[in-house]
Structure 1
Amino acid sequence: MKMGKGIYRISAVLILSLSLLVSGCGGGGKKQADSNSSEQAEQKKISFWAAAVTPERNQFFEEIIKEFEEQNPDIKVDFLGVPGDLSAYQQKVNVAIAADQAPDIMNDFKADLISRDVLEPLDEYLAAWEDKDLISQETLESNRKLDTKEGKLYALPYSSQTWNLWVRPDWFKEAGLELPDTWPDFFEAVEKLTDKSRDHYGLSIRGGAGSANTLEMLMYSYSGITEYFTADGKATINDPLHTEFVEQYLGAYNVYTPEDDLNKGWSELAATFQSDKAAIVVHNLGSASSHEKAFDGDRNKFAAIPFPQSVKGYREHPGLMPLGLTMSKSAEHKDAVWKFMTFYLSHDINSRYSELYGEIPANKDAAADDWVQNVPYMKSASDLLNNPETKFADTPYYLPGYGNVQKEVEPMIQKVMAKQMTAQEMLDEWARLLMEEKESYEQSNS
C-alpha cells in the first residue's frame, strides 16, 4: 500500500512538471515549437537538376545551394547532379517529364522542351528583374531563337562558349609568321608550318566524332553567310563558297595533317596538339584547362585566337549555342525558382561557375573580372562576343534533329578526306538533310 502511494506521488510530480513546461515557465518552448513548425510548413521546396556533373562541379553546386539557403531560409533546394554525358541526363529528364515529375530547374536547354510545353516563359520575370541589363544581350537573343514562333525566352543564360583556333605561338614565331587573321594567312601558315621530317604538321583535322559540327562552324565563318536557309527555304550549306572552303580544308588531309586524322575525335585531336605534332586545331574554349595542364601553364606554347575574317571582310562567329537555366511549368513555387535563378546569375556566383567551366560569364560584371581579363584566351573570347562588329550565324539549334543531321554527315566527311566523295556531293546531301529536317519541323509546328 505504501509502495503504491509512492508511485502515485512520483507520477503526480511528473505530471505537474510536464504541465509547467507546457504552461507558465514552459510557455516559451511551446511558442518556439509552434514557430518552428510554422516555418517548416511555409518553407518552399524547389528542385534543381544539373547535367554532366563531376565531383568538382558537384561540390560547387552544393556550396552555392548552401549559400542560397542561408540567405533564403524559407526556400529549400533539392539538388541532383547527374554524372556522365548529356544523353544520360536527358534520359533521366524525359522519364521525369513522362511521370509529371519534371525538376523545377534544369541546366540543359533543348528546343524539344519548348515544343513539348514543359517550360515556363521567363519574359515577365526578366522584365521585372532590376539586374536584367547586366545579362549579355547576345546570350539572351540566342536563347530566344529556339522559340521560332513567338521568340519568347525560356532559359536564363548563364554563360557562352566561343569557337577558336588553338595555335602554337612558338611555332609561328620560329617560322617568322604572324598569327592568321585572314583565311589566306591561315592556309599559308598550314603549309609553311608542316615539316614531316620533324613530324610537325600545320594542321590537325577532326575527322571522327564531332567532325561535322566543327566543319560547319568553319564553313560559315569562312563564307560570311549568316543565314542557314534562304527566304524560299533552301539550305545555304552547299553554297559555292562552302564548297571552295571544304575542298581546301579537307584537301589538306594527309598533306599538311597527320594521316590518322581520319578517325580523330576531340581527345585524339587535343593529344596531337599537346604532343608537339600540330600547329593549329579547332575547338571551343572548353579545352583551355586541358591545354593549361598539358603545357604547364606556358602560354607561349598555346593560345586561342578568333576564326579569321570571312572572305567578305568581316568576322563571323557561329550562332551561340543556347545555354541557360529553365523553369518548369509544373513548378509549384515559381517565385522561389526565379529567385534561385537570379542568384545563379549574380556577379559572384556567375563568375565562380564560369571560371570552373572555362566559359564566358553571361553577367557583364563577372565578365570584367580579372580571371577573364588577365587570361589571354578568355579575354580574346570575351572581346569577340562583345564586339558590336562581330556577326553571328543563325545556327538552327531549334531543329530537334539538327544534331542527328550532323551525325549522318560525319561518315561523308571521312569519304571526302579519303577522296571517295567530292565536297560538292557531300554538301548537296547535307543541304537535303537540313531542308528535310526543317520541313518536318515546320509541319509538326503548323
Structure 2
Amino acid sequence: MKISNRRSRRAALAVALGSVLALTATACGDDGSGSGGDKGSEGSGKGEIVFWDNNGGVRTDIWKQIIADFEKANPDIKVKYVGIAAKEYQSKVDTAIQGGGLPDVGGVGAAMLAEFSAQNALEPLDERLTKSSLNGRLNKDMVASLKAAGGGDGTLYSIPTSANNGVLYYRTDLFQKAGLDAPTTWDKFYEAAHKLTDAKKNAFGYTIRGGAGSIAQALDAMYGQSGITSFWNGDKTTVNDPKNVAALEKYAALYKKVTPAADVNNDFTKMVAQWDSGTIGMLNHNLGSYQDHVKALGTEKFRGIPQPVGPGGKRVQVSNPVDGLGLFKSSKNKEAGWKFIEFALSHAENSKFNEAAGQVPANTEAAGDAWIQKAEPTKLAAAALSDGSTTIVQLPYYLPDWNTISKADNEPGFQKVLLGKMSTKEFLDTLADQLNKAQADWKQNH
C-alpha cells in the first residue's frame, strides 16, 4: 500500500495545483499559460497542425479520410496525423505535458479529461463553441458529460465526437444450433456460456477481457448482476459491497471454464479478433467493434444487444465515457486547430466517423442519419438509454486519478483474480480503498 499512498499524495498535489490554476483563470481571465510555461498562441490559422489520434490503428483509416476532406476544404492548412494505441495514449500525453511536444489537437475522452485539465494542459473551449457554427448542434448530454468530467470547475475542455455503450454480442448461428434463447438475462447468459463450451473442439461460450481495459468491463458485469445503482454511498464507493463481491466472483469464475486461456492477457483488439475468427458464443464489448464483426461474420451470424437484465427485470450498467477532441493550450496555431475540430464535428464528417466506428454521433443532425437505423446495436443502445429500461451507474471520471486507478493500478490485480492468485474480495477492497482516498482528496480541493 506504500506505492498507492505515494500516488495518492501525488494526485492530491496535482489536483490542488489544477484547482489553483483554474481559480486564477476564473478570477483574472485566462492568461493562456500552458504546461511548462508554454502559453501557446492563436497563430495564423494556416500552416501545419499536429493531430494525435487516441485510438490509433483502430480509427486510423477514418481519421485519414476526414483529414483529406479537411485539407481539400482548407488548402492552406496541413494536418500531420499521429496514431497512438489507446492503451499507450494517456502516458504519451502525460510525458509530453511534462517534457514538451504536445500536439495542437488530440483525442480527449471523459476518462482522461480530469487528469489532463488538472495539469493545465487543455484550452478552455466554452467561448469558442459559443461563437461556432457547432453551437446548438451538439448533443447536450454529451457536452454536459464532458463538462462534468473536467475536474469540477464546470469548464468545457473537450468537444464530444461520440458516445459509446456496452453491448453483448452473440453468435445467432451457434445459439440456434444449441436451441438457446437470446442472452437477454444474466441467467440465460450463464446458461449459454456453459452450454456452448466444448474445449476439446476449441469452442467456448464466452470471451472475457483480462488485459488492458479489463476493469471497466468487469465493473459493468458486476453492477449489472448486483443491481446496485450508485457508485457512491455517501463518500464511500460501493465497488466492494458484498453483492458486488459475489457478482464479480461468479463472473471471474468463467475464466478457463468457458473461455479461452489466452483471455487473461487479451485487450479489446485481441479479444474482438479472437471472437470474429473463432467459435465463441458471446463477447462483451461496445458499439465500437460492430463494423469489425460485420466484416468478419456478415449480419446474419450475430447480433449486438444491450446488456442483460437482472432478476428484477431492470438493466443496470456503468457509464461509457464520451469521446471528444481537445485543443492543447501549448499549441502555436490554435486557430487552425479549432478549425479542424469544427470540421470534424460537422454533420457530414461526424456522421462518417461514427458510421465507421459504430457509435452514436455527437452532432444532432448526424444522429438522424439513415445508417443508424440499419446498425441494430446502435439503434437498440439508443433505445435502451431513452426508454427507461436502463439505470446508469456513473463512473467518477472527474477524479484526476481515475484512469490510473482503473487501469495501471488494478488491471494486474484482476488478472490475479482470474488466475486464482487473489480473492475477489481482496481485489475489490484494494480498489475501494484507492477510490475512497481519491474521492477524499478531490473533495478537499473542490
- The bucket for the TM-score relative to the shorter chain is 0.7 to 0.9
Q: How does 1:23-422 map to 2 (within 5 A)?
A: 47-51=49-53, 52-54=55-57, 56-57=61-62, 59-69=64-74, 76-86=76-86, 93=93, 97=97, 103-109=103-109, 110-127=113-130, 129=132, 132-196=135-199, 198-231=201-234, 233-295=235-297, 297=298, 299-311=299-311, 313-329=313-329, 338-387=338-387, 389-406=389-406, 407-422=408-423
Normalized against structure 1, the TM-score is what?
0.77
Between the aligned partners of 1:347 and 1:118, the Cα distance in structure 2 is 28
Amino acid at match of 1:293: K
Contact 1:142 1:319 in 2 (8 A): no
TM-aligned CA distance change 1:198 to 1:42, over 3 Å: closer
DSSP-derived class of the 2:169 partner:
strand
Residue type at the aligned position of 1:242: N
Tell me if structure 2 keeps the 8 A contact 1:228–1:395: yes
**Deviation of 1:155 (Å):** 1.2
1:84: how far off?
Answer: 3.3
Structure 1 residue 333, shift from structure 2 partner:
7.2
Q: Which residue of 1 aligns with 2:27?
A: none
| Unmatched runs of 5 consecutive residues or more in structure 1 | 1-40, 71-75
Partners of 2:70 and 2:343 within 8 A in 1: no
What stretches of structure 2 of length at least 5 have no aligned partner? Answer: 1-42
Displacement of 1:158:
0.9
> What is the Cα deviation at residue 48 of structure 1?
4.8
- The 8 Å contact of residues 166 and 320 in structure 2, kept in 1 or not, is answered as no
SS at match of 1:324: strand
Q: 1:388 to 1:100 in 2, by over 3 A?
A: farther
Residues 366-406 of structure 1: per-residue CA shift (max 9 Å, x gap): 12223221122332334344545533222122323323323
CA contact under 8 A between 1:161 and 1:320: conserved in structure 2? yes
* Preserved contact between residue 206 and residue 283 of structure 2 (Cα < 8 Å): yes
Q: Report the CA distance shift for 1:194/1:124 in structure 2 as closer, same or farther (over 3 A).
A: same
Please give the alpha-carbon distance, in whole angstroms, between the structure 2 residues aligned to 1:101 and 1:275. 39
Number of the residue aligned with 2:438: 437
Residue identity in the other structure for 1:415: K
Cα separation, partners in 2 of 1:42 and 1:327, compared to 1, 3 Å = closer
Instruction: Specify whether residues 105 and 209 from structure 1 end up closer, same or farther in structure 2 by C-alpha distance, changes over 3 A only.
Output: closer
What do the CA deviations read for 1:121-178 (whole angstroms, capped 9, x no partner)?
Answer: 3334444556544322332222112134232222110112222112111122222222
d(CA) in 2 for partners of 1:42, 1:82: 22
Aligned length: 397
Q: Using the alignment, how far apart are the partners of 2:392 and 2:443 within structure 1?
A: 23
Structure 2 Cα separation of the partners of residues 205 and 199 of structure 1: 15
Give the distance between the partners of 2:92 and 2:77, measured in 1 at CA: 19
The answer to whether the Cα contact below 8 Å between 2:166 and 2:284 also exists between their aligned partners in 1 is yes
User: Cα distance, 1:58 vs. partner?
Assistant: 5.1
C-alpha distance in 2, partners of 1:278/1:353?
29
Give percent identity, aligned residues only.
Answer: 33
Deviation at 1:438, TM superposition (A): 2.9
Distance 1:269 1:234 in 2: 33
The separation in 1 between residues aligned to 2:427 and 2:189, in whole angstroms, is: 24
Q: How far apart, in 2, do the equivalents of 1:46 and 1:440 lie?
A: 40
Q: Hey, what does 1:7 align to over in structure 2?
A: none
* Residues 204 and 279, structure 2, Cα contact 8 Å, conserved in 1: yes
1:53–1:81 Cα contact (<8 Å) kept = no
TM-fit CA distance, 1:81: 1.2
Mapped to 1, the partners of 2:277 and 2:157 lie a distance apart of: 43
Q: CA deviation at 1:414?
A: 3.1
- Asked if the contact 1:50/1:108 (under 8 Å) is kept, the reply is no
Deviates more, 1:414-423 or 1:99-108: 99-108
Q: For residue 367 of structure 1, what is the amino acid of its counterpart? A: A
- C-alpha separation between the residues in 2 aligned to 1:163 and 1:238? 22
Aligned-residue RMSD, C-alpha: 3.1
The structure-2 alpha-carbon separation of the partners of 1:259 and 1:58, relative to structure 1 and needing over 3 Å to count, comes to: closer
| Structure possessing the higher radius of gyration over alpha carbons | 1
What is the CA deviation profile of residues 24-73 of structure 1, one whole-angstrom value per residue up to 9, with x for unaligned ones?
Answer: xxxxxxxxxxxxxxxxx976568352324456245314322224416xxx
Q: 1:93 to 1:254 in 2, by over 3 A?
A: closer
Q: What whole-Å deviation, never above 9, does each CA across 1:90-116 have from its counterpart, x for those lacking one?
A: 566556655777544332343222112
Residue 258 of structure 1: CA displacement?
Answer: 3.3
In structure 2, give the amino acid aligned to 1:142.
S
CA contact (8 A) 2:213 2:268 kept: yes
**Change over 3 Å in CA distance of 1:151–1:280 after alignment to 2:** same
Q: Distance in 1 between matches of 2:410 and 2:95?
A: 30
Q: TM-score, normalised by structure 2?
A: 0.77
